[in-house]
Chains A and B, each alone.
Chain A
Amino acid sequence: MTMPYYVAPEQVMKDRAEYAQKGIARGRSLIATIYEDGIAIVADNPSRSLHKISEIYDRIAFAGVGKYNEFDQLRVSGIRHADTKGYAYSREDVDARSLANLYAQYLGQVFTHEMKPLEVEILVAELGTGLHPPQLYHIAYEGTITDEDRYAVLGGETEATTERLEEQWTSGWPLSDALRAAVSALAGPDRTLGGSDLEVAVLAQGNGRRAFRRLVDAELEALLG
């Protein structure tokens, strides 16, 4: 008869965390920042069709880094949550905080109860209204949730990227400044990123009911100028 090995719970958690972190660090990073007219999200993503940033609801956007199939499943469930809530109650009852909490609970549950944690880090961004300021909810692979009121950096090497962004950060900056700073922070000292290497979207006040809009091609190049 063989005895099962005893593994200390601390060790189990440590191994899982390490596993998730490694998976996330393999992918490319993403920055979301609040600017004068809304929220800009910039991802280091050369694909035109496999998006890291997408629309959830009228004033809510989603962004994810790490394993694509895992954060895409979270994205779709977020859209489902928001659309059913808006349909059952009203459009103004859909908010980012409750969605971010649901994500955090789910990620936390998977981290503690499943064999394999999700190798993702996600962001739920909500455009401000007259009553509420804009909000960035950053949710880590184990369900830790933090709300940022300036910017959020997701992915591997976040410390160096955050440092580079912090140097340039100014409150209420215009879109083109915010984008240029985010791109140079993502690129680092050794690389340059052009429009075709990036996925960029904004939640902007002037966009009508659905505030989410992707910035592509000529418009993006002009802003990055």
Chain B
Amino acid sequence: MTLPLFSTTEDPGPDFAGLIRRLRLPVHPMMAPAGSAVSSGGAATNEFRHGTTVVALRFADGIVMAGDRRATEGNAIAHRAMEKVFPADRYSAVAIAGAAGPAVEMVRLFQTQLEHYEKVEGVVLSLEGKANQLSQMVREHLPMAMQGLAVVPLFAGYDLARQTGRIFTYDVTGGHYEETEHNATGSGGRDARTTIKLGYRVGMARDDAVELAVEALYEAADEDSATGGPDLIRGIYPLVATVTADGFAAVTEEEVSERFAALIERRRAEGRQP
């Protein structure tokens, strides 16, 4: 390795993706220049691992984000404890749905990109700036998405300038859209969205928001075979995290399991099907 120095006209600035392209490091195909991407021939979508339901919703002090733990290969369960919710940096979180391999790689690149920018420039990107960065990564991934390896992230964070939580959703073309209150994506996203829509109130307290996110995942797992519910036998629960003015915080597994237990208990008491 040598010291990566560039002439002033070729300097990639704070752009990490641009840097690794310039250094010609062997990287994931989504980082390769357009045209040199993956081989032709439609790959059967089912041969690759896929991740599933992720949700985000806004509450009084910030946002809650949650994701189930199942990864599937076709109709087989590939992984039971996959992580789909990640801290993007101190004040934002990213969750992924879609082809697991490229999705996890995209998160790693995104995390590095945000930290790289912060260190080189000496200031943190605005939340909008972070959302745009992720948008570019999803857009560059489009050729692979067209071959069945779509990655659809969900991005949310605490906007320090506006002092509020904000949520952004994406489509495979890299378009990003700001959500006012909540959203969910992935194969069980539809069921999760409906659940959240029914239980959502503006300015919810943190505990209620966490419980609603957990409930949404529970409903999604009930309807969608590619979404995993709480696994009481192995002790595997969905990952839940909050982002507030104090930064990213993972909700402990203990709390998530308690919320599930409370949810089932309450439903039984109300005479509903658990």
Q: Show the binding face of A for B, using Cβ within 8 Å.
A: 49, 51, 54-56, 73-74, 76-81, 83-88, 98, 102-103, 105-106
**27 intermolecular pairs with C-beta atoms under 8 Å apart:** A51-B122, A54-B122, A55-B119, A74-B3, A76-B120, A77-B5, A79-B116, A79-B119, A79-B120, A80-B4, A80-B19, A80-B116, A80-B120, A81-B4, A83-B16, A83-B19, A83-B112, A84-B19, A84-B20, A84-B23, A85-B1, A86-B112, A87-B109, A87-B112, A88-B25, A102-B1, A103-B3
Inside 8 A of A76's CB, which chain B residues have their CB?
120
Inside 8 A of B122's CB, which chain A residues have their CB?
49, 51, 54
A54–B119 touching, CB < 8 Å: yes
Q: Which of A54, A55, A87 has the most CB of B within 10 A?
A: A87
Main secondary structure of the interface of B (DSSP, over half): helix
Q: Shortest Cβ distance from B204 into chain A, in angstroms?
A: 29
Q: Shortest Cβ distance from B2 into chain A, in angstroms?
A: 7
Q: Total A-B pairs in contact (CB under 8 Å)? A: 50
Residue of B nearest to A78 (CB): B3
CA distance in complex: A98, B1 (Å): 9
CA distance in complex: A81, B20 (Å): 10
Whether B108 is near chain A, meaning CB under 8 Å from some CB there, is yes
Main secondary structure of the interface of A (DSSP, over half): helix
Whether B115 is near chain A, meaning CB under 8 Å from some CB there, is yes
Inside 8 A of A87's CB, which chain B residues have their CB?
16, 20, 108-109, 112
Residues of B164-178 whose CB lies within 8 A of A:
none
CA distance in complex: A102, B240 (Å): 42
A56–B119 touching, CB < 8 Å: yes
B18-41: CB near A (< 8 Å → 1, else 0) gives 011001010000000000000000
CA distance in complex: A21, B16 (Å): 35
Residues of B102-158 whose CB lies within 8 A of A:
108-109, 112, 115-116, 119-120, 122
